[in-house]
Amino acid sequence: MSVPKQQRSITEQYPAQIFVPLIDAGAVFFSGFLAHFIRFGTMAVHERFMLGMVIIAIFVVMANFIDGAYVRWRTTRLSSILFRLLGVWGIVALLATSIIYLAEASVRYSRLWLGMTLLFSFGFAAGFRVLVMLLLKRARALGKNLRQVFLVGPSMNVLKVARGMRKMPGEGFAIAGVQRLKGGFSASESYDCLARRVEASGAREVWLCLPLEMGGTVREVMYALRHQTVEVRFIPEFQDMRLLNHRISRVAGHFSIDLSVTPLGETARFLKRVEDLVLGTLFLILSLPVCAIIACVLKVEASGPVLFKQYRMGSNGRHFKVYKFRSMEVHQEADGTVTQASQGDPRVTRFGAFLRRTSLDELPQFYNVLQGRMSIVGPRPHALSHNEYYKELVQSYMLRHKVKPGITGWAQVNGLRGETATLEKMEKRVEYDLWYIDNWSLWLDLRIIALTILRGFSNPNAY
């Protein structure tokens, strides 16, 4: 089916991959002239600077095409667009400086000009994207630039997807029609009717909102729509399953819907390890005098070892020995039993209570971080017996062990620290832990560390 031009949205008539590269290239040239005027006081640009601008512009456009940054803006968050743009400009800056160095042309180019050109061009390109996204959001709120969608599926599934569309009007989707299914279609005439309805609706996309048990219906619908050019999306219903890092991937030559996989790729794990080594070493060195004082006080105040050691579960279920300053009197519990510290717990020493309130008892865990068994930021490791208990009560509890445990975490800076006296508290902690895993970034880690320093050392729930 051919859609008349007047029915197409603005972004379909003028796709980003056609005019945005021209804007990016123009931003580079405009910035180059502006930087030249600021640096040299003249707009008469020497040919070597023109060559530099041409090379930078080509790199910018090529890098954006390779990164896929010129497609699918409708379903991409503005923050993600800008972050990827920053990465592109970083790569271009690295390439440009490398070429200048290898060509032994550093004396012929002003470093200030190059820096200003890259900085200004990024600012113009980012500002253009922000402006376009704001204008599109405004237009879509007024009912313009909408992409018509035909929904297919059981009533409850269709209703849930429709509500999601209404909650995110900025994406610009509108319902062109609905075909409600009751246990799937049983006759070919029904599929033919669906095809006719989709064609008559003028929809650009068909969304199959189906539970997994109706997956066989997908093939029949796809066959019924074989003569049409509409885009088809399968939006499966996973009901109450907690998904982790879900995505579409290709494994052994087959497409895979990954429901729960390791959330951090090789690059992310490398960055997080570098973060742990750099910050962990810094924090450990800074805390050494405090650790020495704490050790002396513990030795004088109570008998027994200064450090408390206990096995906890680390990444992918591996056990490791965690270290803490001893805050309780030496005591013996039944095998397999670990009793959480509670308010007014007689086992906690007077100095130990201070250590727990201020989180200073956690300082030896920076050694665990340097060992590679823990991370500075991550889900807090629980006693093994607590894992055995809660994994039966909280369905997605064990998913928190797909990453290294941390000294601090998203749950802790949101007030979920200390004793988990109720099942609801543990469920909430797991919810925060899984949100952190699913949304990990270097900036999120730095934010959690900053929040821990600002408000995490003293906590009324730690006793």
pLDDT of residue 288: 93
Choose the weakest-confidence range: 68-72, 77-81, 83-87, 291-295. Answer: 68-72
pLDDT of residue 2: 40
Q: What is the pLDDT of residues 318-332, one digit of tens each?
A: 899 999 988 887 655
Give 384's contacts (C-beta < 8 A, 6+ positions apart).
Answer: 311, 312, 313, 319, 338
330 is written with which tokens?
A: 């030496």
At residue 141, does pLDDT exceed 60? yes
Categorize the per-residue pLDDT at 3 as very low, low, confident or very high, splitting at 50, 70 and 90: very low
DSSP state of 329: -
Give domain limits for the chain.
5-141, 147-239, 266-456
- Which regions of 114-164 does DSSP assign to beta strands (E)? 147-153
pLDDT of residue 212: 75
Choose the weakest-confidence range: 158-172, 250-264, 308-322, 430-444. Answer: 250-264
At residue 4, does pLDDT exceed 70? no
pLDDT of residue 187: 55
For 143, counting Cβ atoms within 10 Å of its Cβ (0-12 exposed, 13-18 middle, 19+ buried), the class is exposed
Q: Mean pLDDT for the chain?
A: 82
pLDDT of residue 293: 93
pLDDT of residue 290: 92
271 is written with which tokens?
A: 């960055």
375 is written with which tokens?
A: 């991370």
Closest C-alpha among 192, 264, 205, 191 to residue 233: 205
Model pTM?
A: 0.57
pLDDT of residue 332: 59
Categorize the per-residue pLDDT at 407 as very low, low, confident or very high, splitting at 50, 70 and 90: very high
At residue 117, does pLDDT exceed 70? yes
Categorize the per-residue pLDDT at 260 as very low, low, confident or very high, splitting at 50, 70 and 90: low
Alpha-helical runs (H) found in 202-314: 216-224, 266-301
What's the mean pLDDT in 79-88?
86
Question: Mean pLDDT: which of 36-50, 255-269, 410-424 is highest?
Answer: 36-50
User: CATH number of 147-239: 3.20.20.70, 3.40.50.2300, 3.40.50.920, 3.30.710.10?
Assistant: 3.40.50.2300
At residue 387, does pLDDT exceed 50? yes
Q: What is the pLDDT of residues 204-225, one digit of tens each?
A: 889 888 887 777 788 888 888 8
pLDDT of residue 345: 63
pLDDT of residue 228: 81
pLDDT of residue 333: 58
What's the mean pLDDT in 380-391?
88
What's the mean pLDDT in 42-71?
87
Question: Mean pLDDT: which of 230-234, 291-295, 313-317 is highest?
Answer: 291-295
What's the mean pLDDT in 172-201?
78
Q: What is the pLDDT of residues 289-308, one digit of tens each?
A: 999 999 998 888 766 788 88
At residue 389, does pLDDT exceed 60? yes
- Which regions of 299-402 does DSSP assign to beta strands (E)? 307-313, 319-325, 375-377
Closest C-alpha among 420, 382, 380, 428 to residue 404: 380
At residue 148, does pLDDT exceed 70? yes
Q: What is the pLDDT of residues 332-379, one digit of tens each?
A: 555 555 555 555 566 778 888 888 888 888 899 999 999 999 999 999
The better pLDDT of the pair 100, 418 is held by 100
Q: What is the pLDDT of residues 7-56, one digit of tens each?
A: 555 555 556 667 889 999 999 999 999 999 998 888 888 888 899 899 99
pLDDT of residue 1: 39
Q: Tell me how crowded residue 196 is: count the other CB atoms within 10 A of its CB.
A: 11
Categorize the per-residue pLDDT at 5 as very low, low, confident or very high, splitting at 50, 70 and 90: very low
At residue 240, does pLDDT exceed 80? no
Token pair 């390779």 in the structure block, residue: 66
At residue 118, does pLDDT exceed 90? yes
